Structure 1
Amino acid sequence: MVISVPQPVFVDVDTGVDDAMALVYLFGSPDLELVGIASTAGNVPVQQVCQNNLGLLELCRIEEVPVSKGAEQPVSSPLRTAEDTHGPQGLGYATLPRTNRELTPYDAAQAWIKAAHAHPGELIAVATGPLTNLALAMREEPALPTLMRRLVIMGGAFEYRGNTTPVAEWNISVDPEAAQEVFSSWPAAWGSDRPRYLPIVLGLNLTEHIAMTPALLGRLAAEADSPTLPMSERDERGTRSSATNPLIRVLEDAMRFYFEFHFDQNEGYLAHLHDPLAAAVALDPGIVATRPATVDVELTGTLTRGMTIADWPGRWGREPNALIGIDVDPEAFFDRFIERVGGFARTLA
């Protein structure tokens, strides 16, 4: 009989709505051990991100997962946040329980390093916010990439429009210097040798295929044995969930705000689950098709700052530093997401 050992997973998030969905997906995944959560300023200020992460752990009754506070600002530019997209506290209309849980005495950059040294060659890492903490960690420990087994980054847009500027994706545009630092230093981590692995980068060209809808959210509630009234763009703004399950209620209240935002952007009454896809790929890279390329970030362009560029034909003459996601099966993803999160929610009823 084969005994499966849980995989150590470390996440760096700027918890917002879709980061919260990613965390819940990980909470409901029995094939991992969540060894740390780094909080990054992005969707909301880092202090609020910390509170969201601690509150989600309290809601989901998850014990002994350290949460660390990251830098309050990007490495060299002012912070921009996205309360218009995610709500004043980052989770739409949702309210999390109060908690006495505390942050670690060390910061998020140290948390990256500690997790990697504690699980050398085994750690799977997921970054779903700006790459500020990771860049700072790599400054302190340049060998950090060699200590990880896998890294999945949600960020960028490859031959695709941006969602922050016409060409830039949110996570990269908040701290483009940090992103450029991470991408440019990756192959050098192994000296002159070819890297043993490349980070998997999931841009908007891929993640915008993962569209949550009211029908899918209804399936999730049913899987959790907590059916609720279906949502619609005709509902009064801010209508609260009728779910009896505490997790489904929080997710529906968060997602309603996200649906309303996307609807106001003329994208339909739906929401793109960028970050849960990154969480799923971290555990099973085979659910997406990828293509190697050298990725760089534009820092100085008047109109193109934060744009991610992939040198598909290799004209720069540089080693590939990323595996870029190019194809995914949304139906297969949502089947997995609903099964895991719905099943986990049942345990909290």
Structure 2
Amino acid sequence: MQRIILDVDSAGDDILAVLFAAAHPEIQLEGVTTTTGAAGPIKQVTDVVLNTLSLAGRDHIPVHAGAWRPILGHSKADMEAPVHFEKRLTARFGDRLKTFNPPAPEPKRKATPGHAVDFIIDTAKANPGEITLVTTGPTTNAAMAILQEPELPKLLKNMLVLGGNFTTPGNMTPLSEYNIWADPEAARIVLNADCDKILVPLDICEDNRVADSMLTRDDIADMLADGADNPVIAMIQHVFPIYIDIWREFFGLVGFPMDDVITVALAIAPDLVKTTDPLFMDVVLEKGVARGQTVAYRGHQILPGGDGPKTTRIATGLDGRRFLDMFKTTMARYARAAA
């Protein structure tokens, strides 16, 4: 049993990651923490998680709201660009966008009292060496936890971090992936930390070289085919076709990439990916097109630098078919028992 804290920003595949972590029999989801990111303000992010866990019948899982803004960030307009992304799609998709990041209805329960950062620190202290911290959005909460408790990297079992890009072009700038770009200062703190990590970049998620890991209409049909009464799969059927269409037509991918779920799955199946040897990782902080670029020190350079802890393995390959089978099997666990 792998014990995890899942830190999310509630973009589309974060919803699927929460559902996966809450249902997989080999994962004990200690709690979900939220941070402002691609889905919008912290209340929207947190309400999405609360509603998702209610749908899943997992209202006992703590949900702690966290950072409402990045440590520094960018201009207000740039930071809001991912949230307003759908405005660029209106002419193409029209009313079909109504299931793409809609305002969350008021949840049945409130977020658990206490800040996400305190929850991360307290849980790690109470269970040294047992907690995997999984971040699938900007790493603001994780960075603030490390700043507040410098011993945190040694208290965690490991970290799984979704972010960065190396061979696949960035999705915010040609050089930068959203999660790292959204809070580069936080990402540098996390990636520099002396804690075993796997970094999951766009290269193995949002690239047609790993097409067999992406959600398609055929996959939704497969999940519906068993005829079980399953409210989670019914939600996926209702909500996610537009995500599939956007990533096919706008981003040129064969389906909807499952970045966040892949990252969570590594907690129980790290052999889903091939990785580099442990490396020192850094992040570009300067203004411009390179801000948020992930930098791996894996060669021999003349100028000094790169002398920090070599604790990050970069995922370079993915067994996409095995991953997607794992996802479908886990979603099937939400089937209601026959009356």
Interval containing the TM-score (normalised by the shorter chain): 0.7 to 0.9
Give the Cα–Cα distance (whole angstroms) in 2 for the partners of residues 173 and 307 of structure 1: 7
- Following the alignment from structure 2 to structure 1, what is the Cα–Cα distance between the partners of residues 239 and 119? 28
Q: What is the rounded CA distance, in whole Å, between the counterparts of 1:269 and 1:159 in structure 2?
A: 18
CA contact (8 A) 1:135 1:178 kept: yes
Mark the CA change 1:247 to 1:297 in structure 2 (over 3 Å): closer, same or farther: same
Equivalent in 43, 46, 50 of residue 47 of structure 1: 43
Is the CA contact (8 Å cut-off) linking 1:95 and 1:250 kept in structure 2? no
* Distance across 1 between alignment mates of 2:338 and 2:18: 15
Counterpart position of 1:310? 296
Task: Give the direction of change, closer, same or farther, for the CA distance of 1:346–1:280 in structure 2 (3 Å limit).
Answer: farther
Determine the structure 2 residue equivalent to 1:111: 119
2:170 aligned to 158, 162, 177, which one? 162
Structure 2 Cα separation of the partners of residues 95 and 132 of structure 1: 23
Give the distance between the partners of 1:41 and 1:74, measured in 2 at CA: 8
Match of 2:204 among 203, 206, 211: 206
The DSSP-based 3-state class of the residue aligned with 1:116 is helix
1:290 aligns with 2:275: yes
Secondary structure of the residue aligned to 2:174 is coil
Q: Aligned partner of 2:109: which letter?
A: R
Q: Distance in 2 between matches of 1:339 and 1:114?
A: 33
* CA spacing shift, 1:345–1:96, aligned 2, 3 Å: farther
The correspondence for 2:152, drawn from 134, 139, 144, is 144
Task: Give CA-to-partner distance per residue, 1:240-291, whole Å, 9 cap, x none.
Answer: xxxx632112222331221232133141452111000001001221211111
TM-score (norm 2): 0.86
CA distance in 2, matches of 1:221, 1:314: 52
Q: Hey, what's the Cα distance between the residues in 2 that align with 1:317 and 1:155?
A: 19
Q: After superposition, what is the alpha-carbon deviation per residue over 1:298-343, rounded to whole angstroms, capped at 9, x for unaligned?
A: 1104221111111121534524231100111101111111111123
Cα deviation, residue 122, structure 1:
0.6
Q: Tell me, in whole angstroms, the C-alpha distance in 2 between the residues paired with 1:93 and 1:68.
A: 20
Q: Amino acid of the residue matched to residue 222 of structure 1?
A: A
1:90 & 1:45 partners in 2: Cα distance?
19
Indicate the residue corresponding to 1:222 in structure 2: 225
What's the counterpart of residue 267 of structure 1? Answer: 252
CA contact (8 A) 2:32 2:62 kept: yes
Q: Where does the alignment leave 5 or more consecutive residues of structure 1 unmatched?
A: 1-5, 188-196, 227-243
- Percent of matched pairs sharing the same residue: 30
Given residue 281 of structure 1, which amino acid in structure 2 is its aligned partner?
L
Cα deviation, residue 169, structure 1: 0.6
Say whether the 8 Å CA contact 2:64–2:116 is kept in structure 1: yes
Q: Distance in 1 between matches of 2:51 and 2:317?
A: 34
- Aligned counterpart for 1:11 among listed residues 3, 6, 10: 6
Change (3 A) 1:65 1:338: same
State the 4+ residue runs in structure 1 displaced beyond 4 angstroms: 84-91, 93-98, 346-349
For 1:1-349, list aligned pairs within 5 A.
6-43=1-38, 44-78=40-74, 80-81=79-80, 82-84=82-84, 92=100, 99-184=107-192, 186-187=193-194, 198-208=196-206, 209=210, 210-223=213-226, 225-226=227-228, 245-268=230-253, 270-291=255-276, 292-313=278-299, 315=301, 316-318=305-307, 319-346=309-336
CA distance in 2, matches of 1:218, 1:139: 46
Are the aligned partners of 1:246 and 1:348 in contact in 2 as well (CA < 8 Å)? Answer: no
Shift of 1:118: 2.3
Aligned length: 316
> CA RMSD of the aligned region, Å?
2.5
SS at match of 1:160: coil
Give the deviation of 1:222 after TM superposition.
Answer: 2.3
TM-score between both structures, scaled by the size of structure 1: 0.83
Q: Secondary structure at the match of 1:133?
A: helix
